[in-house]
Amino acid sequence: MKQQILDKKGIAKAVSRIASQIMERNTRVSEIAIIGIQRRGDWLARRIANIIHDEKNITIQVGILDINLYRDDLQNRAEYPVVRTTNIPFNIEGRTVILVDDVLYTGRTIRAALDELKDFGRAHRIELAVLINRDGRELPIQADYIGKNVEIGTGGTVVVQVHELDQNDDVIVKEVL
């Protein structure tokens, strides 16, 4: 069964709410940096940074993170994942980093991202923003900013599309019945 849970408007609203909450919680917005996880999180990160820029007239540093080299299942896979670009063109030392991903599911991607970020320096604080927060956590990880919560049970999948990569914006849930 397929069901659309967010359309273009819904995603825009969710992203803008996340951006407002980030500005609320971080009074010194100029000190934050936003890092998106490849390949959908980086586009969401850019959108959040643009909203903050429009509102506060501050340019927010944006980075891209590819976590594939830090996965915990590399030894068990028949093929290695394609390694894409990581680009963090600023020093994260002492900064508040907002990590952005499309879906928070098992928590393993975020675990890998935290390990990888550690190798770039010691951030003052790391927060997590996700568009979709779903059930199925396998690690003690939770998000600080959430676009939408969904419960679909194991076996179900969430597909996020962003127009920068997929030509349109939407979130679809596929449930196994």
Q: Shortest CA distance to 142 belongs to which of 114, 116, 170, 171?
A: 114
CB of 85 to other proteins, least distance (A): 6
CB of 58 to other proteins, least distance (A): 26
- Name residue 30's amino acid: S
Spatial separation of the C-alpha atoms in residues 28 and 2, rounded to whole Å: 42
Q: How many residues does the chain have?
A: 177
Interface with other proteins includes 176 (CB under 8 A)? no
Q: Shortest CA distance to 86 belongs to which of 125, 112, 121, 116?
A: 116
Residues 115-174 touching other proteins, rule: CB under 8 A, are 115-116, 119-121
Member of 2, 9, 28, 77 binding other proteins (CB under 8 A)? 77
Write out the DSSP string of 100-147.
EEEEESSSHHHHHHHHHHHTT---SEEEEEEEEEES---SS---SEEE
Interface with other proteins includes 4 (CB under 8 A)? no
Name which of 20 and 86 has its Cβ closer to other proteins. 86
Member of 26, 86, 106, 157 binding other proteins (CB under 8 A)? 86
Member of 87, 94, 135, 142 binding other proteins (CB under 8 A)? 87
Footprint of other proteins on this chain (CB under 8 A)? 66, 68-70, 74-87, 115-116, 119-121
